[in-house]
Amino acid sequence: MFAVEDRRKYIGGSDIAVVMGMSRWKTPLKLWLEKTGQAEPDDLSQVEAVQLGSELEEFVAQKFAKETGKQVRKQSKMYVHKDYPYMAAHIDRLITGTDEILECKTCGSYKEDEWAEVVETVEIDGKKVEKVIEKVPKEYLLQVTWYLGITGKKLAHIAVLIGGQKFKKRKIEFDKELFDVMVDMAKDFWKSVEAKTPPAVSASDNPVIVQMFPEADTEIIENQEIEANIAKLQKVKDDISVLNDEKEMLEAEIKSAIGEHLGVSTEKFKVTWPKYQQTKVNTERLKADGLYEKYADKSSYRRLNISEKKKVA
């Protein structure tokens, strides 16, 4: 494994989906903060699933070798793009005597659908033919394509242990057209890292922006360019308020129709209104007993407030 500080110096296989805006776990802005040294990467070393995945890597590799008859060997070398030294690859295993690599994965049973075999109807030479599509999570598809392009290999295998009970294999052939797109996007991203210019924000970046700007001074800046966005945000909030009112009214009418019964059935829908129990802490009693302040954790946050200026006559 490479030290955290070393990972700031290059774009690796686990980064490329983020760079392309196709990661479910991290945004380009968050990665940019990490690569520019303005934020620490999330420490996953104590996450049990991550620990087990690391410990099971050798098992997955040997299971693959046993099922395929291929010999695999661990590779500690870090490969670097011949033209761009900040593009790198650290692969799990080489397959001996071939131009192939192996990537080992583990996941929980709840992610089994991400690795499912799906039958699709495709047209070949004017005829409709059923074809089995073996699904691969997009982040891993991009990761191994990156590895193939950096190493110059032609074929990657992904072996995955699902829920500790199912083992699946996937083959990914090198896609030069896709890799060229990846390289172009990686070049643009690294330029933003070197220039300390952040990438465009995404809808998932609100927590990242809070991390970037946790405090506020007393100045209100002038910026006419953002007025259209402010007006649009205010309209969206107003629309949500109207929809929430409509939602509450519809729920009230349906609950009234159900009454003392468990639910109601129509031609298209079944609606149930069961009773649940939950436990809540009674803060008033804690205050009365003088315990509230002892156990209350105070935190600060920034809230976005919008108000329309009064027009001057």
- How many CB atoms sit inside 10 A of residue 231's CB? 12
Asked whether 179 and 62 are in contact (CB, 8 A), the reply is no
Residue type, 54: S
Find the mean pLDDT for residues 107-130. 87
Degrees, nearest 5: CA angle 60-65-70:
145
**Confidence grade of residue 3 (pLDDT, cut at 50, 70, 90):** very low
Smallest CA-to-CA distance from 16 within 147, 134, 165, 125 is with 147
Per-residue pLDDT at 177 exceeds 50: yes
Asked whether 122 and 131 are in contact (CB, 8 A), the reply is yes
Per-residue pLDDT at 267 exceeds 90: yes
Cα(244)–Cα(186) distance, integer angstroms: 42
Q: Which helix (H) or strand (E) holds 271?
A: strand 270-272
What sign does the CA torsion over 26, 27, 31, 33 have? negative
Cα(34)–Cα(29) distance, integer angstroms: 9
pLDDT on residue 2? 43
Percent of the chain with pLDDT over 70: 98
Smallest CA-to-CA distance from 33 within 181, 210, 221 is with 210
Mean pLDDT for the chain?
Answer: 91
Find the mean pLDDT for residues 21-41. 94
Domains assigned to the chain: 4-212 (3.90.320.10)
**Confidence grade of residue 313 (pLDDT, cut at 50, 70, 90):** low
Smallest CA-to-CA distance from 20 within 225, 186, 155 is with 186
Find the mean pLDDT for residues 91-120. 93
- How many CB atoms sit inside 10 A of residue 173's CB? 9
Asked whether 111 and 85 are in contact (CB, 8 A), the reply is no
Cα(192)–Cα(190) distance, integer angstroms: 5
pLDDT on residue 247? 97
Asked whether 87 and 81 are in contact (CB, 8 A), the reply is yes
- β-strand pairing of 79-80 with 100-107: unpaired
